[in-house]
């Protein structure tokens, strides 16, 4: 059934797999994405999955983009419809001229299809059932068979897939050969019975380079290993559980003493999030580097301890893999919605340091850096990941580590310093940066012990309810937060090629969509300067960026423009100057969305595109 | 609180321990609890136990939650690091501290509100994990700082100072500790220092999760007729099963008990617990029997005290996690960071 205008595109399209959760499709789909990468063409896959173990619909979307756009695009050029539950919606979502690959074993009424798409039937069930008798094998190999058909339909080199299968089943020859066999069953059927390739094709390229392909959660966990974390306490919660799991497996490979076969780490699955952060704070108080991984509901539960960390000045690292809230919200959907609850976590006057990685490579770097910052600033550092970065494979620059780097353990007074008579006041600001010296428990028999408490205390850690001493301490904590501004990663500015009155601020996982949106906007005649925030507290360059523009869009993935509120509040910016661009339906933000929202806003203002003014 | 500064001078001939420290070296600030508070007696027992065991005060980390009991770490071991954390969360903070440095002695001090209500879960989980610690609950059955509300350990039918009768069932912390696997379980009474001090010593020597429930009457809110946690009531209903002597080091074992009444229990570290049996049938090595004994006597309104259960060769969390001998907080980048060469290999596997 050929459509009037079949989409024709090489190395630039979106394919979506509609599957049933728990049917084993994930590994076949990942194999598909990896094979395109191996052909040198960038891809960005995304899992769209339910909060469910088996039976509910799940999708896997792969955006193929030789130009290197890694953000979600929106729209589907080819649908691999393997789930009858979602058939109607899946078919409806295909772009006109797009393709539908389906299991044609049983005839379907014409009304189930569309005239303006290209329908490709492969009798997957028939092929599978005639080859395999074991029901589990039938289910698993069906996935590999459609992968084989796709290799023909999209002109993917089968040798590349075979090599990947070989790597995956190294040493398991039986599995290896049966997978390769299934691959060719599908491929041969397509070559013999269908028009191959379709209008959508993969052509070998060299646009991947030395980039690596990994999930943000795994990268952050590896950052924790490199950053010297020895204690991890956590409680299972989507979408952060895979971070703790990854830390466990990285440690198993990288953190055993070769001689004694003993672990240079301790991981405890806490009874809840309160215990997890309590363990982190106890360990860090005692001089170990410690972290927890959680998501929004966990942040809510940890509030009291986070306040203790702030006020008693104990290092802690919290990796928050954000998901859609409020309450249980949408546990398997992405958002950037914990900005305010993290920045001002806990009762009383508090402020916390947040880091905003854009991709797995930055998640690795910032995770490692978070431990230095926590020790240096003696407070909680939040690494603000989200489901989109955390649980999807993303193409990013290779991870790097400087072997000359030493951990910054911050201001720790040693037994030698105490012995030499150095004055010790746990909350005595000797350097004027708001950061005071601490001692680890057990340092010296007679000197340097102090009592840590969440109650008010004087500069020598003695309990007091004196207003002046309390204010003195609270002001020092503000000074410390000022110091943090120059320690955290600076914002990155990218100016338009020509002068413009408009700017855009964004952060975290919005990054690839934003980069692409800039191109789309330029095509519409709008140019903007960009500032990607990488941390809170905000560096002074944020104020100046806003001052340099008539108004600035603030793009974020939540309903209440949380980052914008933080900017308005912390930098005393007139809210009118910051225009919110908000995406919060739980799917990753797309370039199309950003370009449309900003473009329409600029059009509505009847702004003459700058190009014309200049000419 | 440091409203009153303790004078530093003391009698020149105060007895000294093996380290040359006197009893005064184990003291803290002056207590700000009510005069006659049972908690101050427990503080005195902790000081005595540490002095007698010749512990370096700075090698102890004392950690508490919130409440009257949780204030007491300020009143002993002034040269130790202390941590007055958040309500009901001492167990998690202590667990973390213990993971960071396995070489210190961890003394967790909590109360019945702190451990049987808000922190019930954390109490249970740190015991079941086998954190190597001494967990002391200073149990008075009431919330003192907030003026005498019942706590979860208050017995059903007991009367508050205002005359309200408690209708909720009581949580027996000792029963729970036994059930979830604490490897040392004891109960004592703040009014019986002779029983309590050796129990604390034995708990410190024990290399696993040691729990001591100390009934500690609240003189301000729970020491009246009708209370089951008053000095009078506890004295009248105290059913001690044994009396303990702790013998450490290489000192020759000198026993002057009548034969057959004493059981010598050797601990993993060589410490010997000399148990003078007050109840000939009671077996400190039988967890199930201990639980049943407790239930049986509780039904009769008796409070069973003494060393109730001990494992001679306990396992602790570090053994479960197979951690290195060196405290984790002493490891630096050399031991912890896999370096750039390993990272290159990881990169290669991700292409």
Chain A CB contacts of B322 below 8 Å = 261-263
Reference A392, options A534, A219, A202, A237; nearest CA is: A219
Examine the domain organization and report whether A84 and A14 are in the same domain.
yes
B18 domain residue, yes or no: no
Q: Does B20 touch chain A (CB under 8 A)?
A: no
Write down the pLDDT at residue A517: 97
CATH number at residue B276: 3.40.50.970
Sign of CA dihedral A50, A52, A57, A59: positive
Whether A502 contacts A530, CB under 8 Å: no
What phi-psi label fits residue A152: left (phi over 0), alpha (psi between -120 and 50 degrees) or beta? alpha
Three-state DSSP at A328 gives: coil
Whether B329 contacts B107, CB under 8 Å: no
Examine the domain organization and report whether A566 and A603 are in the same domain.
yes
The conformation of residue B19, written as its DSSP 8-state character, comes to T
Q: If pLDDT is split at 50, 70 and 90, which confidence band does A51 have? A: confident
B318 domain residue, yes or no: yes
The residue whose two tokens read 């970065």 is A389
Write down the pLDDT at residue A614: 47
Report residue A13 CA to chain centroid gap: 23
B2 domain residue, yes or no: no
Instruction: Please indicate whether, in this complex, the C-beta atoms of A211 and B351 are within 8 angstroms of each other.
Output: yes
Q: Does A467 touch chain B (CB under 8 A)?
A: no
Write down the pLDDT at residue B280: 85
Write down the pLDDT at residue A418: 97
How far is Cα B236 from Cα A154, in angstroms, rounded to an integer?
A: 88
Write down the pLDDT at residue A197: 96
Tens digit of each residue's pLDDT (9 = 90 or more) over A116-139: 999 999 999 999 999 999 988 898
B348 domain residue, yes or no: no
Give the containing element (helix H, strand E) for B314.
none
Over residues A67-75, the mean pLDDT reads 94
Write down the pLDDT at residue A90: 97
CA distance B224 to chain A (A): 32
How far is Cα A12 from Cα A27, in angstroms, rounded to an integer?
A: 23
Write down the pLDDT at residue A464: 95
B329 domain residue, yes or no: yes
How far is Cα A34 from Cα A45, in angstroms, rounded to an integer?
A: 10
Examine the domain organization and report whether A223 and A294 are in the same domain.
yes
pLDDT for A254 beyond 50: yes
Examine the domain organization and report whether A51 and A189 are in the same domain.
yes
Write down the pLDDT at residue B278: 86
A268 domain residue, yes or no: yes
Write down the pLDDT at residue A23: 83
B162 domain residue, yes or no: yes
Reference B126, options B155, B154, B85, B80; nearest CA is: B85
The conformation of residue A105, written as its DSSP 8-state character, comes to S
pLDDT for A584 beyond 50: yes
**Residues with Cβ within 8 Å of residue A341, at least 6 apart in sequence:** A296, A299, A300
Examine the domain organization and report whether A357 and A448 are in the same domain.
no
Over residues A456-460, the mean pLDDT reads 96
Q: How many domains does chain B have?
A: 1
Tens digit of each residue's pLDDT (9 = 90 or more) over B127-171: 999 999 999 999 999 999 998 999 999 999 999 999 999 999 999
User: What are A84's two structure tokens?
Assistant: 């009858």
Percent over 70 (pLDDT), chain A: 98
Q: If pLDDT is split at 50, 70 and 90, which confidence band does A448 have? A: very high
Distances (CA, A) of B216 to B49, B77, B89, B138, B234: 18, 20, 21, 6, 9
Examine the domain organization and report whether A29 and A42 are in the same domain.
yes
Tens digit of each residue's pLDDT (9 = 90 or more) over A143-185: 999 999 999 999 999 999 999 999 999 999 988 999 999 999 9
Examine the domain organization and report whether A34 and A165 are in the same domain.
yes
CATH number at residue A150: 3.40.920.10
How far is Cα A535 from Cα A370, in angstroms, rounded to an integer?
A: 11
Q: How many domains does chain A have?
A: 4
Q: If pLDDT is split at 50, 70 and 90, which confidence band does A4 have? A: low
Best residue in A278, A408, A418 to probe B by mutation, most B CBs within 10 Å? A278
Name the residue of chain B whose CA is nearest to A465's CA: B1
Examine the domain organization and report whether A152 and A242 are in the same domain.
no
Question: Hey, how many other C-beta atoms are within 10 angstroms of the C-beta on A206?
Answer: 9
The conformation of residue A115, written as its DSSP 8-state character, comes to T
Listed by number, the residues of chain B in 78-97 with a beta carbon closer than 8 Å to a beta carbon of chain A are 78-86, 89, 91-97
How far is Cα B96 from Cα B73, in angstroms, rounded to an integer?
A: 18
Q: Does A233 touch chain B (CB under 8 A)?
A: yes
How far is Cα A429 from Cα A480, in angstroms, rounded to an integer?
A: 10
Tens digit of each residue's pLDDT (9 = 90 or more) over A306-326: 999 999 999 999 999 999 999
The residue whose two tokens read 């830390």 is A247
How far is Cα A349 from Cα A487, in angstroms, rounded to an integer?
A: 22
Chain A CB contacts of B343 below 8 Å = 226, 399-401
CA distance A115 to chain B (A): 40
Give the containing element (helix H, strand E) for B192.
none
A163 domain residue, yes or no: yes
B14 domain residue, yes or no: no
Examine the domain organization and report whether A190 and A336 are in the same domain.
no
Of A255, A399, A406, the CB nearest to B346: A399
Domain that holds residue B292: 23-334
Q: Write down which residue in A170, A201, A232 finishes a domain.
A: A201
CA distance B103 to chain A (A): 9
Chain A CB contacts of B61 below 8 Å = 286, 441-442
Question: Hey, how many other C-beta atoms are within 10 angstroms of the C-beta on B297?
Answer: 16
Task: List, for chain B, all residue ranges whose pLDDT scores fall below the cut of 70.
Answer: 1-4, 249-260
How far is Cα B99 from Cα B323, in angstroms, rounded to an integer?
A: 9
How far is Cα A218 from Cα A224, in angstroms, rounded to an integer?
A: 10
CA distance A450 to chain B (A): 5
Listed by number, the residues of chain A in 31-90 with a beta carbon closer than 8 Å to a beta carbon of chain B are 37
Of A212, A213, A264, the CB nearest to B336: A264
CA distance A131 to chain B (A): 33
Q: If pLDDT is split at 50, 70 and 90, which confidence band does A566 have? A: very high
Q: Is the peptide bond before B325 cis (omega within 30 degrees of 0)?
A: no
Listed by number, the residues of chain B in 25-64 with a beta carbon closer than 8 Å to a beta carbon of chain A are 56-59, 61, 63
Best residue in B328, B338, B341 to probe A by mutation, most A CBs within 10 Å? B328
Examine the domain organization and report whether A480 and A496 are in the same domain.
no
Over residues A194-201, the mean pLDDT reads 97
Torsion of CA B21, B26, B27, B33, to 10 degrees: -160
A192 domain residue, yes or no: yes
Examine the domain organization and report whether A321 and A287 are in the same domain.
yes
Best residue in A286, A301, A415 to probe B by mutation, most B CBs within 10 Å? A286
What phi-psi label fits residue B103: left (phi over 0), alpha (psi between -120 and 50 degrees) or beta? alpha
Domain that holds residue A428: 411-488
Q: Write down which residue in A467, A488, A509 finishes a domain.
A: A488
Whether A71 contacts A520, CB under 8 Å: no
Largest CA distance in chain B: 77
Q: What is the predicted ipTM? A: 0.96
The residue whose two tokens read 């020895």 is A230
How far is Cα A60 from Cα A25, in angstroms, rounded to an integer?
A: 9
B96 domain residue, yes or no: yes
A572 CB-side CA count, 13 A: 0
How far is Cα B293 from Cα B306, in angstroms, rounded to an integer?
A: 13
Question: Hey, how many other C-beta atoms are within 10 angstroms of the C-beta on A25?
Answer: 26
The residue whose two tokens read 């601020």 is A505
Examine the domain organization and report whether A91 and A180 are in the same domain.
yes
Write down the pLDDT at residue B102: 98
Report residue A17 CA to chain centroid gap: 22
The reported pTM is 0.96
pLDDT for A615 beyond 50: no
A455 domain residue, yes or no: yes
Distances (CA, A) of A511 to A67, A343, A354, A358, A557: 15, 21, 17, 6, 12
Of A222, A233, A274, the CB nearest to B96: A233
Torsion of CA A279, A381, A561, A564, to 10 degrees: 160
A404 domain residue, yes or no: no
pLDDT for A394 beyond 90: yes
Q: Write down which residue in A466, A488, A510 finishes a domain.
A: A488
């Amino acid at each position: 059934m050929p459509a009037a205008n079949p989409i024709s595109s090489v190395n630039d399209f979106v394919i979506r797999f509609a599957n049933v959760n728990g049917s084993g499709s994930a590994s076949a789909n990942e194999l598909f994405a990896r094979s395109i990468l191996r052909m040198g063409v960038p891809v960005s896959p995304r899992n769209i999955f339910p909060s469910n173990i088996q039976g509910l619909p799940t999708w896997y979307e792969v955006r193929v983009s030789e130009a290197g756009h890694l953000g979600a695009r929106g729209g589907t050029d080819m649908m691999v419809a393997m789930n009858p539950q979602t058939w109607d919606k899946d078919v409806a979502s295909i772009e006109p001229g797009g393709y539908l690959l389906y299991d044609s074993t049983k005839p379907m009424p014409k009304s189930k299809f569309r005239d303006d798409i290209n329908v490709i039937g492969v009798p997957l069930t028939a092929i599978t059932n005639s080859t395999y008798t074991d029901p589990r094998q039938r289910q698993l190999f069906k996935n590999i068979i459609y992968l084989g058909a796709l290799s023909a339909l999209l002109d993917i080199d089968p040798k590349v897939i075979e090599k990947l299968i070989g790597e995956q089943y190294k040493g398991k020859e039986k599995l290896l050969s049966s997978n390769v066999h299934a691959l060719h069953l599908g491929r041969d059927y397509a070559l013999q019975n269908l028009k191959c390739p379709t209008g959508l094709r993969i052509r070998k390229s060299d646009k991947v380079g030395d980039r690596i392909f990994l999930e943000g959660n795994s990268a952050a966990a590896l950052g924790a290993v490199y950053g010297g974390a020895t204690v991890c306490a956590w409680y299972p919660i989507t979408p952060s559980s895979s971070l703790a799991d990854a830390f466990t497996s990285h440690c198993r490979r990288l953190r055993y003493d070769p001689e004694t076969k003993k672990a240079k780490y301790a991981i405890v699955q806490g009874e809840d999030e309160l215990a997890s952060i309590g363990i982190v704070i106890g360990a860090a108080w005692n001089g170990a580097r410690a972290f927890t991984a959680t998501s929004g509901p966990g942040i809510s539960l940890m509030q009291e301890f986070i306040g203790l960390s702030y006020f008693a000045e104990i290092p802690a690292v919290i990796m928050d893999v954000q998901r859609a809230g409020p309450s249980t919200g949408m546990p398997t959907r992405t958002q950037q919605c914990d900005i305010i609850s993290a920045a001002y976590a806990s009762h009383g006057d508090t402020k916390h340091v947040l880091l905003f990685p854009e991709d797995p490579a930055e998640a690795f770097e910032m995770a490692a850096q978070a431990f230095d910052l926590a020790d240096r600033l003696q407070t909680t550092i939040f690494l603000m990941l989200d489901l989109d970065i955390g649980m999807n494979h993303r193409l990013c620059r290779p991870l790097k580590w400087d072997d000359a780097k030493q951990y910054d353990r911050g201001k720790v007074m040693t037994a030698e310093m105490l012995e030499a008579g150095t004055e010790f006041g746990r909350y005595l600001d000797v350097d004027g940066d708001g950061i005071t010296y601490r001692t680890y428990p057990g340092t010296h028999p007679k000197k340097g012990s102090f009592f840590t408490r969440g109650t008010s205390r004087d500069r020598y850690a003695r309990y007091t309810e004196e207003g002046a001493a309390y204010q003195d301490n609270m002001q020092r904590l503000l000074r410390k937060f000022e110091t943090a501004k120059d320690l955290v990663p600076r914002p990155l500015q990218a100016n338009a090629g020509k002068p413009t009155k408009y700017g855009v601020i964004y952060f975290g996982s919005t990054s690839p969509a934003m980069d692409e949106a800039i191109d789309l906007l330029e095509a519409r005649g709008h140019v903007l300067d960009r500032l990607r925030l990488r941390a809170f507290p905000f560096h002074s360059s944020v104020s100046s960026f806003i001052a340099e523009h008539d108004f600035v869009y603030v793009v974020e993935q939540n309903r209440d423009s949380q980052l914008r509120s933080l900017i308005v509040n912390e930098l005393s910016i007139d809210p009118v100057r910051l225009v919110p661009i908000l995406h919060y339906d739980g799917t990753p933000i797309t370039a199309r969305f950003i370009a449309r929202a900003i473009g329409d806003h600029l059009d509505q203002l009847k702004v003459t595109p700058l190009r014309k003014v200049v000419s | 609180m440091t409203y009153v500064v303790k004078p530093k001078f003391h009698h020149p001939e105060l007895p000294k321990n093996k380290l040359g420290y006197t009893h005064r070296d184990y003291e803290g600030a002056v207590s700000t609890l009510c005069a006659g508070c049972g908690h101050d007696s427990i503080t005195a027992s902790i000081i005595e136990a540490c002095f007698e065991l010749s512990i370096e005060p700075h090698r102890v980390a004392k950690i508490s939650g919130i409440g009257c009991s949780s204030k007491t770490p300020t009143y002993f071991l002034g040269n130790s690091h202390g941590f007055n954390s958040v309500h009901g969360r001492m167990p998690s903070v202590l667990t973390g501290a213990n993971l960071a440095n396995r070489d210190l002695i961890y003394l967790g001090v909590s109360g019945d509100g702190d451990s049987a209500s808000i922190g019930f879960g954390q109490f249970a989980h740190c015991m079941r994990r086998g954190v190597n610690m001494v967990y002391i609950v200073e149990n008075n059955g009431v919330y003192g700082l907030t003026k005498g509300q019942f706590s979860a350990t208050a017995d059903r039918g007991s009367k508050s100072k205002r005359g309200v009768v408690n209708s909720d069932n009581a949580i027996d912390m000792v029963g729970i500790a036994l059930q979830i696997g604490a490897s040392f379980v004891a109960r004592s009474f703040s009014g019986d220092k002779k029983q309590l001090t050796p129990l604390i010593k034995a708990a410190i020597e024990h290399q696993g999760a040691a729990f001591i429930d100390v009934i500690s009457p609240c003189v301000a809110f729970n020491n009246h007729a009708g209370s089951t946690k008053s000095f009078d009531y506890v004295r009248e209903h105290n059913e001690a099963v044994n009396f303990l002597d702790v013998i450490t080091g290489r000192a020759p074992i000198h026993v002057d008990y009548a034969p057959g009444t004493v059981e010598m229990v050797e601990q993993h570290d060589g410490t010997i617990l000399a148990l003078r049996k007050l109840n000939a049938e009671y077996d400190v090595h039988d967890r199930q029997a201990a639980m049943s004994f407790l239930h049986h006597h509780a039904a009769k309104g008796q409070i069973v005290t003494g060393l109730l259960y001990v494992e001679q060769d306990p396992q602790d969390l570090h053994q479960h996690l197979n951690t290195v001998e060196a405290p984790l907080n002493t490891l630096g980048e050399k031991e912890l960071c896999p370096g750039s060469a390993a990272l290159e290999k990881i990169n290669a596997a991700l292409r």
